[in-house]
Amino acid sequence: MNRNVIISFGFHTLLVIITAMSLPFLAKKPINLPPIISVELIQITDKTNIPFAPKAKKIIEKVKEKEKKLVSEQAPPKKIKKQKPDAVPLPDEKIEKIKKIKDEKQNPEKVESEIKQISEFEKKELFDTNSIAALIDKSKIESAKTNKKLDKVTQDQNKKMDSVGLTLSEEDALKAQIFGCWSIPLGLPFNEDLLVRIKLQLKPDGSIIKTEILDHARMNRPGQAFYKVLAESALRAIKLCQPLRVPSTGYERWKDMQLNFDAREMLEG
């Protein structure tokens, strides 16, 4: 009897320990991720990706250029990505943004007009170093708070995007880019199956590592010469377009991508 109680107690204790050890551990994992996620992600969904993508690309290129000078070319891309939030000169921008937000909230113009009209005595008080330090500290705390808030939002979004794929604006930006690069061969028979599926492997900057035509065997089938022509035109479009307009974050979710080139709509219409 006692033996059974001890065994039961032992197992239950073990279960409690496993639960206590493992569940918080699992829960902690995503919490460690936030520093990797850039604040820029919010701007993508809020504003649309098309105007944003070139800006992000420029920033990434700048960072890369800096790192190229310091590190060898074979430096792993992940490191670049991890350093990005630190290396990108965002803090100043953030402070500026926060100041703007802060200013908007506090109606700064009115405050400034009041300051202009104050006496010399009061001005001296304003230049008190302690108060300036306090203000800076306060702004630091506030900026940290804001960052935390922003980070929290991006983490949630990132979680959603991991499961969803590209956002509509991200997809639109990519489509718009490839539309411009794809010269559809006009001689194709419009009553045939004109769908070419190409799997891509991408670098973080959107350039192509590898392309693979998924229905490759069809290219050499008799009577399918047009398919080869179509597939080649799609490959040309991808090469012409690269680097592709991909999101600046979430590389893991879009590093492998499939593009379905379908010419029927254009040729029938």
Partner 1 sequence: MLFRYLFILLILLPIKVFALIEVDITRGNLNPLPVAVSPLAIDKNSKDNFKKILKKENLGSEISKIVENNLKQSGLFNPLDKDAFLQEPDIANLKPRFEDWNLIKAQALVTGKVTFVDEKLRVEFRLWDVLAGKEMMALAFTTVPSNWRRVGHIITDKVYERLTGEKGYFDTRIIYISEKGPKTNRIKRLAIMDQDGFNNKFLTLGNELVLTPRFSPTNQMVTYLSYFRNLPRVYLLDIETGMQEVVGDFPGMTFAPRFSPDGKKIIMSFAKDGNSDIYTMNLENRIVERISNHPSIDTSPSYSPDGKYITFNSDRSGYQQIYVMKNNGKNVKRISFGSGLYGTPVWSPRGDLIAFTKLHKGKFYIGVMRTDGTGERLLTENFYQEAPSWSPNGRVLIFYRETKTNAKGEGFSAKLWSIDLTGYNEKMVETETDASDPSWSSLLSN
Residue 208, strand partner residues: 202
Quote the least distance from Cβ 53 to partner 1, whole Å: 15
Q: Closest distance between partner 1 and the C-beta of residue 161, in Å?
A: 10
> Cα–chain-centroid distance for residue 180?
24
Which SS3 state, helix, strand or coil, does residue 193 take?
Answer: coil
> Which lies closer to partner 1 via its Cβ, residue 112 or residue 265?
265
As measured in angstroms, the least distance from the Cβ of 24 to partner 1 is 14
Tracing tokens 């893991």 back to the chain, one arrives at 252
- Sign of the C-alpha dihedral, residues 223, 224, 225, 226? positive
Judged by CB, which is closer to partner 1: 41, or 237?
237
Cβ distance to partner 1 smaller for residue 132 or 176? 176
Q: How far is the CB of 55 from partner 1 (least distance, A)?
A: 22
Interface ranges with partner 1 (CB under 8 A): 11, 14-15, 18, 22, 26, 162-163, 165-166, 171, 174-175, 178-189, 191, 199, 225-230, 232-237, 239-240, 252-254, 256-263, 265-266
At residue 206, the 3 state secondary structure works out as: coil
Residue pair 49/167 in contact (Cβ under 8 Å)? The answer is yes
SS3 212: strand
| Least distance between partner 1 and beta carbon 254 (Å) | 5
Nearer to partner 1, 30 or 77 (CB): 30
Contact 225, 215 (CB under 8 A): no
Our CB check for partner 1 shows the closer of 41 and 188 to be: 188
Q: Which residues contact 108 (CB under 8 A, 6 or more apart)?
A: none
